[in-house]
A and B are shown apart, each in its own frame.
Chain A
Amino acid sequence: MNQTRINPRRRLNDALLGWKMRGGVRQIVAEIMERGNKNVMVVIGASIVVILIAIAVLAPILPIVDPTLQNGNALTKSPSFTHWFGTDTLGRDVFSRVVWGARISLFVGTVAILLSLLIGMTLGLVAGYFGGKIDYLISGVIDLFWTFPAFLLALAFAAVLGPSLTNVMLAISVSYWASFARLVRGQALTVRERLFVEASRALGANNWRIMFTHVLPNCLAPLIVWASIGVADAITIESSLSFLGVGTQPPAASWGYMLSSAKTFIEEAPWIAVFPGLAILAAILGFNLLGDGLRDVLDPRLKGLRR
């Protein structure tokens, strides 16, 4: 009997090992590396995303003026060599604001999606793996969230929570996690029936270990695709919320807010609206292309076709 006792250290290791998921991630990364660079969409999408991330990260050290600096001598100037994207009605440099806006958009998009991924993944995994009453309950909640369009839900939450950066991220996560949960649940439902799950149970693995080391890594590919497209969605939602005034608050430079404040001058000074609009377009295009391309790369049915 004593031999079958479980030592507490092992239990801790069980939990830790679950979160590492080394193999699954490593294989997917290898696959993306190997086949991704032959996929035009992935290459273009990834390039846009990488450039945006570089701009966002490097914004504080780039040789650009302070995005909140109001220059009374250069009000509403059209694009020139000193102000590449022109200046707005308060004399702020639009280029600098677009660059700093990338920081906010990407930060909000990434954090919100990571948060909803975490919630959705865990709940979906639990629902799909255990099934039965637990699944019934969680699926009910998922369906409840799905009855509302993500944007409306986010708008409602942002309005209730009050406008701030953190609340925007929370609002987006709350309205977005259900798609991840549903995706993972569906995957987990099929993966848990596969023989290797039974086999690892016969070799002594417990439920949590099976869930996180065997079921989850086998659901990762669609999750990565959906997360990439999700970031694009989150950026849209953030911009829209800011446009409507319940998102990021001035004077912080947010693309959505810039659009909103430029809309009254669109005839006289179109550059104030056009450049942040183009930035939103580029970001969404980049993440969507990346997501679509990754779907092709990671789709097992297409594996080997293009080799």
Chain B
Amino acid sequence: MTSEKKPILEIRGLRTQFFLQEGTVTALDGIDLTIYEGESLGMCGETGCGKSMTAFSILRLIPHPGRITAGSIRFKGIDLLGLSPDQMRGVRGRRISMIFQDPSTSLDPVFTIGQQLGEVISLHQNMYDKNALNARILNALKLVRIAAPESVMRQYPHELSGGMKQRVMIALALSCSPELLIADEPTTALDVTIQAQVLNLLKDLARKTGSSMMLITHNLGVVAETCNRVCIMYAGRIVEEAETFELFGKPMHPYTRGLLTAFPKLGEKKEELSVIRGTVPNLMNSFPGCSFVDRCDFATDQCKRVRPKMAEVAPGHLVACHLYPSGGGKDNA
């Protein structure tokens, strides 16, 4: 399946580190990731595991003490890490766009929706004709199914509801038809019914425009709903990667299995939800073994000493765990 698709984004060995006074924090530790044309990839993991940092690294927007120290990011053959800041700005918004978690603060409160959309469109498309620009703005708003786009255009962000604002953000991100859309927890700040609407909208739009999507979330339900491939991240590394059905059906990594059992199922009676014991390790201390070793029920001596590498255990299903020797393809141990 993967062989016939063209990769749009290839990340190899990406390492992002933060240099603080107290020491060096390795936020991303050797990420390998490929996004193919037209697919939507889910990035899953708990808070602080590096999901958002991956997105910021792709756009080269890592906050101050952080730096990309190793690896490469290739977007359609362009080496993003080699671009000048000016060239990088030309990529952001036009070819790779991003949607943020909280729509209520992602819009500038002093400009109308139309002005903000107009800014992005004129910035990237060199469009200065007012009528043409207005038509583009209206189209962008219609695309995200906003009723009465003419009046929304003239409204300020505080006059819109959360769901509307997130749609406007999506319109902003999609206004220049980017080839890759990164959505960083796009539904976390919305209530459940609106979440479903926004997710469907994203799915539809990605299909319609043929753009690829990277969906960052800690909600496995959202991934199951929206994505065709999933990466599970833990402590700055990708620990498992598979097609959505495959992953939910046959989770391999103990962490993934922990995540899935922690997720309550509808119609199931449970007094207590199962949890993964322990907490995420401190990313400041580096050690040779698997980062999940302290919380893993199957940890062996080898896990403490040697870091497991990603290995393909089934077609398209990669996992980094010593329980599955490379190419083993064993069922649950």
Residues of A within 8 A of B (CB): 1, 3-7, 9-10, 13-14, 17, 22-24, 27-28, 194-196, 198-206, 209, 213-214, 217-218, 220
CB-based contact A9/B126 at 8 Å: yes
CB-based contact A202/B105 at 8 Å: no
- Any A CB within 8 A of the CB of B48: no
CB-based contact B173/A23 at 8 Å: no
Q: Which residue of B lies closest to A197 (CB)?
A: B108
Q: CA–CA, A14 to B120, complex, Å?
A: 11
- Any A CB within 8 A of the CB of B294: no
Q: Which residue of B lies closest to A216 (CB)?
A: B110
Q: CA–CA, A10 to B95, complex, Å?
A: 17
Checking A1, A28, A205, A220 against B89 with a beta-carbon cut-off of 8 angstroms, the contacting residue is: A205
Known interface pairs A198-B61, A204-B90. Does A24 touch B110 (Cβ–Cβ under 8 Å)?
yes
For A218, the chain B residues whose CB sits under 8 A away are: 108-110
Q: Which residue of B lies closest to A24 (CB)?
A: B110
Known interface pairs A4-B83, A6-B86, A9-B126. Does A195 touch B102 (Cβ–Cβ under 8 Å)?
yes
SS class, residues of chain A in contact with chain B: helix
For B108, the chain A residues whose CB sits under 8 A away are: 23, 196, 200, 214, 217-218
CB-based contact B90/A213 at 8 Å: no
CB-based contact B105/A206 at 8 Å: no
Q: Which residue of B lies closest to A218 (CB)?
A: B110
Interface size class of chain B, counting residues whose CB lies under 8 Å from the partner chain = 35 or more
Known interface pairs A4-B91, A5-B90, A204-B91. Does A13 touch B128 (Cβ–Cβ under 8 Å)?
yes
For A22, the chain B residues whose CB sits under 8 A away are: 115
Q: CA–CA, A206 to B128, complex, Å?
A: 18
CB-based contact B106/A10 at 8 Å: no
CB-based contact A203/B172 at 8 Å: yes
Known: A199-B98, A204-B90, A217-B108. 13 other contacts (CB 8 A): A1-B78, A4-B83, A6-B87, A6-B90, A10-B126, A194-B105, A196-B105, A200-B120, A202-B100, A203-B173, A205-B123, A217-B111, A218-B110
The smallest beta-carbon distance between A225 and chain B, in angstroms, is 16
For A1, the chain B residues whose CB sits under 8 A away are: 78, 87
13 A–B contact pairs at CB < 8 A? A5-B87, A6-B89, A7-B126, A13-B128, A17-B119, A23-B111, A23-B112, A199-B106, A201-B92, A202-B93, A202-B100, A203-B97, A203-B173
Q: CA–CA, A7 to B115, complex, Å?
A: 22
The smallest beta-carbon distance between A13 and chain B, in angstroms, is 7
- Any A CB within 8 A of the CB of B322: no
CB-based contact B169/A199 at 8 Å: yes
Known interface pairs A6-B86, A23-B112. Does A196 touch B93 (Cβ–Cβ under 8 Å)?
no
Q: CA–CA, A196 to B173, complex, Å?
A: 13
Bitwise interface map of B from 219 to 231 toward A, beta carbon under 8 Å scored 1, else 0:
0000000000000
Residues of B within 8 A of A (CB): 59, 61, 78, 83, 86-95, 97-98, 100, 102, 105-112, 115, 119-120, 122-124, 126, 128, 156, 169, 172-173
Q: Which residue of B lies closest to A11 (CB)?
A: B86
For B119, the chain A residues whose CB sits under 8 A away are: 17, 200, 205, 213
CB-based contact A3/B115 at 8 Å: no
CB-based contact B59/A202 at 8 Å: yes
For A6, the chain B residues whose CB sits under 8 A away are: 86-87, 89-90
Q: CA–CA, A198 to B107, complex, Å?
A: 10
For B120, the chain A residues whose CB sits under 8 A away are: 200, 203-204
The smallest beta-carbon distance between A273 and chain B, in angstroms, is 47
Checking B61, B87, B126 against A202 with a beta-carbon cut-off of 8 angstroms, the contacting residue is: B61
For B169, the chain A residues whose CB sits under 8 A away are: 199
Known interface pairs A4-B83, A199-B169, A204-B89. Does A10 touch B123 (Cβ–Cβ under 8 Å)?
yes
Q: CA–CA, A201 to B88, complex, Å?
A: 11
The smallest beta-carbon distance between A206 and chain B, in angstroms, is 6
For B122, the chain A residues whose CB sits under 8 A away are: 13
Q: CA–CA, A10 to B123, complex, Å?
A: 7
For A27, the chain B residues whose CB sits under 8 A away are: 110-111, 156
Q: CA–CA, A71 to B172, complex, Å?
A: 71
